[in-house]
Amino acid sequence: LSCKWMDHKFRQDNEETLNLLDTMWRSLVFPNHLYRQVSISSAEDKLAFTVQVLEEVAALFEEDNSSASWEDSTVRNFLNIVNKQAEELHSCLSSLSKNSQLYFKRLSDDVLKKKGHSAEPWEVIRR
C-alpha cells in the first residue's frame, strides 16, 4: 500500500496528536481488543481501521466537552490534526472497519449522551 502523505507527514502529525492527547488526558486507555484483532489484518485493513479510529475520535471530541477542563485551542488543534490525518489516509483506501465504528458509537451514545456530556462520562472514557 503506497501513500506518499503517510510516508512523509503521518508520523509527525501522529506525534503531535499524541502530545495533545497527553496534555488533555494523562492516562488514556485504548480499545486494545480492537487493535489486537486488526494486527493480523492486511495493510489496507489496518489503514482502514486507523482512518475509522481517527474519524470516531474526532466525532467524540466534537461532542459537547464544555464540562471537561481542556483549553479550547488545544481541542481545536487536536481536532484539526486528527481530521487532517483521517482525510489524508482516507484517500488511500476503499473500505472502513465496522467494529471500531460500533465501539465509538457506543461510547458516544451509551456513555456521553446518557450522562449529558458531563465530566463524569469523559472520565469513564478516559479510563
* Block mean pLDDT (10 aa), the chain, length 127: 69 80 70 76 82 89 78 88 89 58 78 78 70
Cα radius of gyration (the chain) = 15
| pLDDT number for residue 55 | 92
- Cell numbers found for residue 53: 479510529
Domain residues for the domain of 19 are: 4-126
- CATH code of the domain in which 72 resides: 1.20.1250.10
Helix axis angle, 43-61 relative to 98-106, nearest 10°?
Answer: 20
Please give the tally of structural domains in the chain.
1
Q: Rounded to two decimals, what is the model's pTM?
A: 0.59
